[in-house]
Amino acid sequence: ACICTSALPEVRPRVLVADADPAVQRLLAQHLTSDGFSIDMCADGRAALDRIVARSFDLIVLDMMLDGLDGITLCRAIRHNATNRNAGVIVVGAASSESDKVLTLVSGADDYLAKPLSPAEFMARVSAIMRRCRSAQYGSPTRGRLERTDLTLDRSRRQVLVRGEQVQLSKQEFELLYDLASSPGIVFTRNDLLTRHWDHVDGRGLR
């Protein structure tokens, strides 16, 4: 049996950008979209919390001074919420004091950047955070439910849903798909995948 990859939805990492400044939203959306992210945006803390509770994200970008709920409060909420506990979090703010950075990191953020933002530095920080998140997730033996756009994978049940419809896969096919879906942007060689998911593999492939 084989997996027809053309029948599966495109897997794009999700990012939430919560910032009250439309110019900042446009700037970040432009660069994140060009780097392959699927973007969700909002302008206040309450709306951000609603999205954080309702949907899973790979990366969350928060303005420190959001109306309703500030970035620090949202950081703490993210780390106590099962849906996005392991998401990468970047806080951006007008202040650049050491105390602001320390408070942000202690509250659960992965990084803090002062405004005005440098797009090149921002994207470099995003890449570093995503590499760390992917590495931690890929090496974890207890990965469970994974949601990517229209694709849902439940490891405990070995269940695959595409747009709500169940797809039957073998154990090896499921594990292969799970590794690929949980590691967006990671390049695996054919032999890497064969060695990980099939027994009795040499350099030429299956025996």
> 182 versus 27: which is more confidently predicted?
27
3-state secondary structure of 180: helix
Residue 51's closest CA among 21, 23, 81, 93? 81
- pLDDT for the residue 62: 96
Of the two residues 198 and 104, the one the predictor is more confident about is 104
User: Do 150 and 163 form a contact (C-beta atoms < 8 A)?
Assistant: yes
Q: What is the band of 187 on the pLDDT scale with cuts at 50, 70, 90?
A: low
Pick the closest to residue 92 from 113, 109, 107 (CA basis).
Answer: 113
Residues 6+ apart with CB under 8 A from 2: 173
Q: Are 66 and 48 in contact (CB under 8 A)?
A: yes
pLDDT tens-digit map of 135-148: 655 444 344 677 77
| Predicted TM-score (pTM) of this structure | 0.63
- Tokens 């953020």 -> residue: 109
**What pLDDT score does 9 carry?**
46
Number of H helices, E strands in the chain: 7, 11
